[in-house]
């Protein structure tokens, strides 16, 4: 067999320069300041799927093969599932890992974007924050000290965010987070562009990103080394900062994250901060900080969970709209009732996208009709895997049923055979190379996926 890795348009080196093509008019633009000058006019999920169909059809002809197995994780997992569902004649079998296929705003079934979410809709939109919080509760425990468990860690983080919201001035936030003094542009019309909102958004994003990397062993992303069980590392630093330094608010949260973000007293390369953490240290002699300052992105919404500067954020604005909302049950993040930016508003989100890229989200009818919310399990030759530590599992197939069973400690099987939930696994860990420290659940999931795919290939 052969393996082919197909690079999506606008990603990697497959870019289109930011120029108007002959006889074309476009308003799509890129204000990310991330050295990406691409014009995203021709970037849509439909077009990406069409590219994949064309590439796979060519490869099948070129290599004279009739059987194709599609594999993808995260966004790649979404493409894999959509490709297999829409082109079963082209794809023999598929493996979609950590794909939030049901995590889109359309699944909230809310017709009036100006009205408040119902309690059920709020619960759906809050699911990603529930997973992150539970991850810190389950894995934040220090095996060597029972005095500060994961629950205490989560409550301490939540209290620090409240202290930031209610007790800290903009100037204090600038000092404690080492923000550039001229970082707030009065001409910025984006929602959530004030200092407090951007600071809270940035810190929330850090805790969510670390949960995304909550693997059982050390990994490296873009030259950044992340230790095994990084949520535990956060909680350990948090406890030390509280008990030995008495820190509060933004200073406390920053101290717990110091090992992960790029500050001068850390060993992380300065080139990795923009990629992983979206901060931009800047050398300056004209501001209060003697050698450097942190330049935040222009809006709270720039730090929406999973946003990465460039084409992915554009796609999240245009046709992959995911709704986030923090409900009243959260102990780790600021509930919508006391902090408006943590309320889902498609109108506010659309305003941010218009300011950032010159586009607004596509109408929900065109999005939901194309991708749909069902049909991933019935009569489909696709393995759907999710890890319970993965924040993006909130939109995974079988999320609600899995967590109902887990909360009741029931072992009776209700999920379809091709829907596999993996205890102790974070973002698409099952697609990684085998590792000696892989949890048994991950090993078992891989074996089951291989077995099912092999059977489907034999049947075809």
pLDDT value of residue 187? 60
pLDDT value of residue 146? 66
Q: What is the pLDDT of residues 297-339, one digit of tens each?
A: 889 999 999 898 889 999 999 989 888 999 999 999 999 999 9
CA dihedral 147, 151, 156, 161 (to 10 degrees): 170
Residue ranges, the chain, pLDDT below 70: 16-38, 106-120, 144-146, 182-188, 262-291, 364-375, 378-379, 409-414
Indicate the DSSP class of residue 95. Answer: E
Q: What is the pLDDT of residues 149-179, one digit of tens each?
A: 899 999 999 999 999 999 999 999 999 999 9
Among 386, 315, 302, 366, CA closest to 102: 386
pTM of the model: 0.88
Q: Which helix (H) or strand (E) holds 357?
A: helix 346-357
DSSP per-residue string spanning 401-440: HHHHHHHHT-----S-TTEEEETT--TTGGGSPP-TT--H
Contacts of 184 (CB under 8 A, 6+ apart): 170, 193, 194, 195
With tokens 């064309």, the residue in question is 54
Q: 399 near 393, Cβ under 8 Å? A: yes
Count of CA atoms in the C-beta half-sphere (13 A) of 320: 22
Q: 243 near 152, Cβ under 8 Å? A: no
Among 375, 371, 374, 358, CA closest to 319: 371
With tokens 């949960």, the residue in question is 211
pLDDT value of residue 235? 94
CA angle 196, 333, 174 (to 5 degrees): 20
pLDDT value of residue 366? 57
User: What is each CA distance from 438 to 179, 340, 377, in whole angstroms?
Assistant: 40, 40, 27
């Amino acid at each position: 067999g052969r393996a082919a890795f197909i690079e999506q348009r606008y990603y990697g080196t497959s870019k289109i320069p930011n120029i108007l093509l002959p006889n074309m008019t476009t308003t799509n633009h890129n204000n990310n300041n991330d050295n990406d000058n691409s014009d995203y006019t021709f970037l849509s999920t439909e077009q990406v799927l069409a590219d994949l169909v064309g590439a796979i059809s060519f490869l099948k002809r070129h290599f004279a093969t009739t059987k194709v197995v599609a594999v993808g994780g995260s966004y790649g997992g979404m493409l894999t599932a959509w490709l297999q569902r829409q082109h079963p004649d082209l794809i023999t079998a598929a493996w979609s890992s950590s794909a939030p296929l049901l995590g889109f705003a359309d699944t909230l079934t809310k017709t009036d974007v100006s009205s408040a979410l119902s309690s059920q809709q709020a619960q759906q939109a809050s699911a990603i924050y529930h997973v992150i919080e539970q991850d810190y509760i389950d894995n934040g425990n220090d095996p060597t000290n029972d005095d500060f468990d994961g629950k205490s860690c989560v409550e301490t983080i939540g209290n620090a965010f409240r202290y930031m919201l209610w007790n800290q001035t903009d100037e204090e936030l600038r000092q404690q987070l080492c923000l550039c003094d001229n970082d707030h542009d009065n001409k910025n019309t984006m929602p959530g562009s004030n200092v407090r909102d951007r600071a809270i958004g940035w810190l929330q994003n850090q805790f969510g990103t670390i949960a995304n990397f909550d693997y059982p062993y050390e990994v490296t992303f873009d030259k950044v080394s992340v230790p095994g069980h990084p949520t535990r590392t956060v909680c350990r630093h948090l406890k030390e900062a509280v008990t030995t330094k008495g820190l509060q608010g933004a200073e406390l949260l920053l101290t717990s994250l110091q090992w992960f973000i790029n500050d001068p007293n850390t060993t992380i390369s300065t080139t990795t901060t923009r990629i992983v953490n979206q901060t931009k240290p800047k050398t300056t002699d004209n501001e209060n900080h003697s050698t450097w300052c942190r330049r935040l992105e222009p809006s709270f919404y720039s730090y929406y969970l999973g946003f990465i500067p460039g084409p992915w954020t554009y796609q999240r604005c245009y046709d992959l709209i995911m709704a986030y909302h923090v409900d009243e049950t959260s102990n780790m993040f600021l509930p919508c009732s006391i902090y408006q930016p943590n309320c889902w508003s498609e109108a506010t989100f659309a305003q941010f996208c218009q300011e950032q890229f010159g586009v607004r989200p596509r109408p929900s009818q065109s999005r939901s009709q194309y991708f749909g919310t069902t049909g991933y399990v019935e009569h489909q030759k696709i393995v759907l895997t999710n890890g319970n530590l993965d924040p993006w599992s909130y939109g995974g197939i079988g999320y609600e049923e899995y967590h109902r069973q887990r909360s009741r400690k029931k072992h009776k099987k209700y999920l379809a055979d091709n829907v596999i939930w993996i205890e102790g696994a974070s973002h698409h860990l099952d697609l990684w190379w085998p590792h000696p420290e892989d949890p048994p659940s991950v090993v078992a999931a891989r074996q089951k996926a291989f077995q099912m795919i092999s059977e489907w290939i034999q049947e075809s």
